[in-house]
Chains A and B, each alone.
Chain A
């Protein structure tokens, strides 16, 4: 049966473009411009989904992006909502949340047990006996949750866009458009965001029965399109409002991050349902949904229907339905006095019976349980309770509800607004709004079309005034004059308890009463216990009724009851819009390209990319690393240290400053010498280390760890300010680059390339020199970086590649090879050098790391000194020690972070380990209880599989304990 009406002005469907699509395997036809729900309804398909918990039949209810029981999937996308999913040629979708298809859904059976599944059922039932929980969990995961994810789909990156405007207007209805025009006429850059595919808001459906509405819409759109600084984005939803008007806009293909100077919310209201028996049956719908079916999609909602009304909108809908050829049996009005406006006369003229002080007790399902076949009407007594004994049934295939409105409040809440309940309107309206946030139209409680246009203009001018673009007078705020448009309590008991307050998660009135009895008498508690408002529609159709119920149960007002917090997102947002395309800047050293050509495998270290090792394509990773390390020990290696933090500290207070920053002594530090330096934070925890070279009386060159240098520099800057010292800090990390030439043959290779005298007396161990390397001015340091003779060479970054190439060339005769961070780590581990952040954690003091030698007690002050004095009074609980394994060890070895046990007590943790070293055995470092830390002691380390291996505590360093090789 085709329910399509004859063509009507303003309809959104394009009858010249028919489309075929599939739903639940069946072919149907619709038109371009249809949504899935409208196209199905046009084909007389009313059930579009099954409910979440009881698998009850559900159909179009709001047609306003709240129909979360009408969710479908196409194998790629899931949980698309039928009331907003445009149909396209070839669309092939199935309902989610069914077993065996929509019509035969085998999970219908759950409803039979609904009496056994009161609110809180999951919390109460599935925790004992505990050993069965995995069974419960498996079953629940199968039943709970909507839609299936297809893991084989290839992700498509979603673009992100940034946009800016003076005023963002949410909603392109009469109030929003007139506000946008008023502001744009004053020169503001205005962006109007409309979630529907076309602008017009209520003009396109609510007022559409009135030919004057089309005139208004045409006039507004014509004016809007003539202003170049006014943009309207349709089919774009506001996902959330964040701090300082940072607004997330989502459309089909992109996420836009909009920064607005001011925000005008003219997003209208969500029509609210009445609560009565079977008020969820397909065929029971909001009046606004029936109007959308008729006016946007030209679909006849019913053949014969009854209207449940508590406001003049209900009478307008009755008239619209009558005009569309629907037989409106009666208007059942909850209000004792019925309608007092002229709409009453209009309805009477159409010979529609009006029944004031009556209600609909229940909708009656047909045999399949998926369609309305009638309704029971009954009178209300003087206290507003239904007299169900006096009820009678009538035949109809539709029940229309028009009982009230709730503002689209969440975006205003997110923007910092507060709402208050207006007793004359029986509606929440904005009570307090931040200075740059404005509301207009129906959300303000303005219901007449002319008033809405005025209210929009007022808000647009007010926004312009706030932004300093308008100095004139502001129109008065439109005040509501007539009867309320919302019923204070459209909620009624039902004997068989099939009266739903929340359709997302199948909550009936009784669930709320039970929750309240169990003590959940606060709105936030009630929300969490019943899960009202926690479903995909975020309570757009249920929060207000939940508040009304709780207020009545507590004997409080709506304001006293309050509402739960509104958080993004306004509508569900697909993960594709949120994932991927994050901004991860990566730093590369000047020698990066050379490394890449030499076969380097790169690794991220902080923000940097460093060569982990160089692959010749033959050797394994592990073998390549060991090879590089052995080559450094035996011959000559070169490593890129461009990622080190590099700073110059200069000025009359430079030495005094470093004395306070580092634990060591720098006041008596001789020019031309370098010192190892450790920095602690105020709690005495070691957080960075490096070397300090004194180049002149008032000039130091300082290095810091690759990953920690940004934090170290930041802290140096702050202390320099706090201490008011005459010191200049220059961050040379990016301006300079560094490399270390290491190995027994480094002297021979290097001598030809520099004018600095390299003899032991002229340039001893731990000395710093300035001179030329390959013609480039450089700072040279003799450090024991990897435990061999070596030179650290610092040059301006721009010359980095030149110097590197010169060293590689000069080293050729000495079989020079580059080595990467893994070989560096291995070589340094053999020398017992710790890595801050790997061998230390957020609580490690220098004492625990055996670095007391680097802490000077004779100084008046350094950062962390006072805390270390306190720590020293306490017993040391762990020490960093070396661990080694037997030369002939076979079988698995521990990994970093594996725990060390003494019987069943945890006594330590492995911090670093290498399974192959140049010494021929596996070795590492570990934190260990101090009483177990003597070299030679055996300890047990527990592996992933629970087995234990034995390691021996070893003295550090493992390699060259006398440090003869590096000197």
Chain B
């Protein structure tokens, strides 16, 4: 089982975490076309590379951002959300 470094709780096993999907900026709902909005809501990129993802530590209720290389499943960095999309 993988170990993930929670920025608040330190290294904890994967089963204590919930994956919250890729960090993706929300398009302006008033400006976006229906197609652009549907693309935001339903499509996800499986492109190989380093992803910025939401992760949640279930036991303590901490959301944070992890930079993960989805080719090697390696967590490169974790940090609390800083507003950067």
Q: Which residues of A are interface residues toward B (Cβ below 8 A)?
A: 242-244, 246, 682-683, 713-714, 717-718, 721-722, 724, 731, 861, 865-867, 870
Query: Given that A243-B1, A717-B61, A721-B81 are contacting pairs, would A870 and B18 also be in contact in the complex, using a CB cutoff of 8 Å?
Result: no
Complex CA gap A44/B37 in Å reads 77
| C-alpha gap A243/B17 in the complex (Å) | 15
Encoded as 1 (CB less than 8 Å from any A CB) or 0, chain B from 68 to 85 comes to: 000001000000010100
Please give, as numbers and ranges, the residues of chain A lying within 8 Å of B56 by CB-CB distance: 714, 718
The distance in angstroms between the C-alpha atoms of A721 and B1, with both chains bound, is 29
Instruction: Flag whether B32 is at the interface (Cβ < 8 A).
Output: yes
Given known contacts A244-B3, A718-B20, A865-B29, what 5 new A-B pairs fall within 8 Å (CB)?
A: A244-B1, A714-B18, A866-B32, A870-B34, A870-B38
Contacts of B61 in A (CB 8 A): 713-714, 717, 731
**Bound complex: CA of A99 vs CA of B42, how far in Å?**
57
Chain B residues contacting A244 (CB-CB under 8 Å) are 1-3
* Residue in B closest to A682 when the chains form the complex, CB atoms: B41
Query: Shortest Cβ distance from A724 into chain B, in angstroms?
Result: 6
Which residues of the other chain, B, contact A731 by a CB distance below 8 angstroms? 61
B-chain residues with CB within 8 Å of residue A242 when the two chains form the complex: 1
Assuming the contacts A243-B73, A244-B1, A244-B3, asked whether A717 and B63 have C-beta atoms less than 8 A apart, the reply is: yes
* Chain A residues whose C-beta falls within 8 Å of the C-beta of B14 in the assembled complex: 243
* B37 cross-chain contacts in A, Cβ below 8 A: 866-867, 870
Partner of A724, one of B29, B32, B54, B83: B83
Instruction: Rank and list the top 6 A-B pairs by shortest CB-CB distance, nearest first.
Output: A866-B29, A243-B2, A246-B1, A244-B3, A683-B41, A721-B81
Contact of A718 among B3, B41, B42, B63 (CB under 8 A): B63
Query: Among B2, B18, B32, B42, which residue has its beta carbon within 8 angstroms of that of A683?
Result: B42
* B contact residues around A867 at 8 Å (CB): 37-38, 41
B32: chain A residues within 8 A (beta carbon):
866
Closest approach, in angstroms, between the C-beta of B21 and any C-beta of chain A? 10
A718 adjacent to B1 (CB under 8 Å)? no
With A244-B2, A722-B81 known to touch, is A861 a contact of B29 (CB < 8 Å)? yes
* 27 A-B pairs in the complex with CB atoms less than 8 angstroms apart: A242-B1, A243-B1, A243-B73, A244-B1, A244-B3, A246-B1, A682-B40, A683-B41, A683-B42, A713-B61, A714-B61, A714-B63, A718-B20, A718-B54, A718-B56, A718-B63, A721-B63, A721-B81, A722-B81, A724-B83, A731-B61, A865-B29, A866-B29, A866-B37, A867-B37, A867-B41, A870-B34
Instruction: Determine which residue in A717, A731, A865, A867 has the highest number of CB atoms from chain B within 10 A of its CB, and name it.
Output: A867
> Residue of B at shortest CB range from A681?
B41
A710 to B, closest residue via Cβ? B58
CA distance in complex: A246, B3 (Å): 9
Which partner residue on chain B sits nearest A583 by CB separation?
B15
What's the minimum C-beta distance from A714 to chain B, rounded to whole angstroms? 6
Residue of A731, A865, A866 with most chain B CB atoms under a 10 A cut-off:
A866
**CB-based nearest A residue for B64:** A721
Report chain A residues within 8 Å CB of B73. Answer: 243
Min Cβ gap B25→A in Å is 10
| Chain B, interface SS category | mixed
The residues of B that contact A682 with a CB separation of less than 8 Å are 40-41
Q: Which residues of B approach A to under 8 Å, CB–CB? A: 1-3, 14, 18, 20, 29, 32, 34, 37-38, 40-42, 54, 56, 61, 63, 73, 81, 83
Compute how far the CA of A861 lies from the CA of B81 in the bound complex, rounded to whole angstroms. 22
Chain B residue numbers with a CB within 8 Å of A243 are: 1-3, 14, 73
Nearest-Cβ distance from residue A584 to partner chain B, whole angstroms: 13
Q: Which residue of A lies closest to B37 (CB)?
A: A866
In Å, the complex CA distance between A304 and B56 comes to 68
Report how far A722 CA is from B64 CA in the complex, Å.
Answer: 11
Bound complex: CA A722 to CA B23 (Å): 10
Q: How far is the CA of A870 from the CA of B37 in the complex (A)?
A: 9
CB proximity of B65 to chain A, nearest CB, Å: 10
State the CA gap A722–B34 with chains docked (Å). Answer: 23
Q: How far is the CA of A683 from the CA of B29 in the complex (A)?
A: 12
Q: A717 to chain B: which residues have CB within 8 Å?
A: 61, 63
Closest residue of chain B to A257 (Cβ to Cβ) is B1
Nearest CB of B to A435, in Å: 11
Nearest-neighbour CB distance to chain B for A653, whole angstroms, equals: 16
* Chain A, Cβ-Cβ closest to B81: A721
Contacts of B41 in A (CB 8 A): 682-683, 867
CA distance A866 to B39 in the complex (A): 12
- In the complex, what distance in Å separates the CA atom of A366 from the CA atom of B7? 71
Docked pose: A722 CA to B29 CA in angstroms: 15
How far is it, in angstroms, between the C-alpha of A683 and the C-alpha of B3 when the chains are bound? 32
Chain A residue nearest to B15 in the complex (CB)? A583
Which residue from chain B places its CB closest to the CB of A862 in the assembled complex?
Answer: B29
Q: With the chains together, A717 CA to B81 CA distance in Å?
A: 12
> Chain B's nearest CB lies how many Å from the CB of A249?
14
Kindly state the separation between the CA atoms of A76 and B40 in the bound complex, as whole angstroms: 56
Query: Given the complex of chains A and B, what is the CA–CA distance between A246 and B37 in angstroms?
Result: 41
CA distance A244 to B83 in the complex (A): 30
Residue of chain A at shortest CB distance from B72: A416
CB distance from A259 to the nearest CB of B (A): 8
User: Measured between C-beta atoms, what is the minimum distance from A729 to chain B in Å?
Assistant: 9
Distance in Å: Cβ of B80 to nearest Cβ of chain A: 8
Compute how far the CA of A252 lies from the CA of B37 in the bound complex, rounded to whole angstroms: 57
**Alpha-carbon distance between A724 and B84 when the two chains are bound, in angstroms:** 12
Could you tell me the distance between the alpha carbons of A246 and B14 in the complex, rounded to whole angstroms? 11
Q: Which residues of A contact B20 (CB under 8 A)?
A: 714, 718
Give Cα distance in the complex from A671 to B20, angstroms.
Answer: 35
How far apart are the CA atoms of A861 and B29 in the complex, in Å?
Answer: 8
Q: Which residues of A contact B38 (CB under 8 A)?
A: 867, 870
> Smallest CB–CB gap between A450 and chain B, Å?
37
Nearest-CB residue, chain B, relative to A860: B30
For the complex, give the distance between the alpha carbons of A242 and B34 in Å. 43
Which one of B3, B41, B42, B81 has the greatest number of beta carbons of chain A within 10 Å? B41
Q: Tell me how far the C-beta of B73 lies from the nearest C-beta in chain A, rounded to whole angstroms.
A: 7
Taken together as a complex, chains A and B put the C-alpha atoms of A722 and B81 apart, in Å, by 8
Residue on A nearest B4 in the bound complex, by CB: A244
Least CB distance from A383 to B in Å reads: 44
In whole Å, how far is B35's beta carbon from the nearest beta carbon of chain A?
A: 10
Residue ID in chain A nearest B28 by CB atoms: A866
Q: What distance in Å separates the Cβ of B31 from its nearest Cβ neighbour in chain A?
A: 10
Q: Whole-angstrom distance from the CB of B6 to the nearest CB of chain A?
A: 14
CA of A683 to CA of B63, assembled, Å = 21
CA distance A165 to B73 in the complex (A): 23
Q: A246 contacts which chain B residues (CB < 8 A)?
A: 1-2
CB closest chain-B residue, reference A866: B29
- Bound CA–CA A722/B85 (angstroms): 9
Q: How far is the CB of B83 from chain A (nearest CB, A)?
A: 6
Residue of B nearest to A416 (CB): B72
Taking CB as reference atom, which chain B residue is nearest A246? B1
CA distance in complex: A724, B83 (Å): 8
Q: Which residue in chain A gives the minimum CB-CB distance to B1?
A: A246
Closest residue on chain A to residue B34 by CB atoms: A870
- Closest B residue to A873 by beta carbon equals B34
CA A854 to CA B38, docked complex, whole Å: 23
| Set of chain B residues within 8 Å of A865, measured between Cβ atoms | 29
| Nearest residue, chain B, Cβ from A434 | B72
Q: Complex: how many Å from CA A220 to CA B1?
A: 33
Q: Name which residue of chain B comes closest to A713, CB basis.
A: B61
Most buried by A among B14, B32, B37: B37
Chain A residue contacts of B83, Cβ below 8 A: 724
A802 to chain B, nearest CB (A): 29
Query: In the complex, A800 Cα to B63 Cα: how many Å?
Result: 31
CA separation between A406 and B79, bound complex, in Å?
44
Contacts of B54 in A (CB 8 A): 718
Closest to A867 in B: B41
Chain B proximity of A467: nearest CB distance (Å): 15
Please report the C-alpha to C-alpha distance between residue A428 and residue B1 in the assembled complex, in whole angstroms: 28
A731 to B60, CA, bound (A): 11
Residues of chain B within 8 A of A724, CB atoms compared = 83
> Whole-angstrom distance from the CB of A185 to the nearest CB of chain B?
27
A243 to B37, CA, bound (A): 37
* Shortest Cβ distance from residue A712 to the other chain B in the assembled complex, whole angstroms: 12
Q: A683 vs B34: C-alpha distance in the bound complex, in angstroms?
A: 12
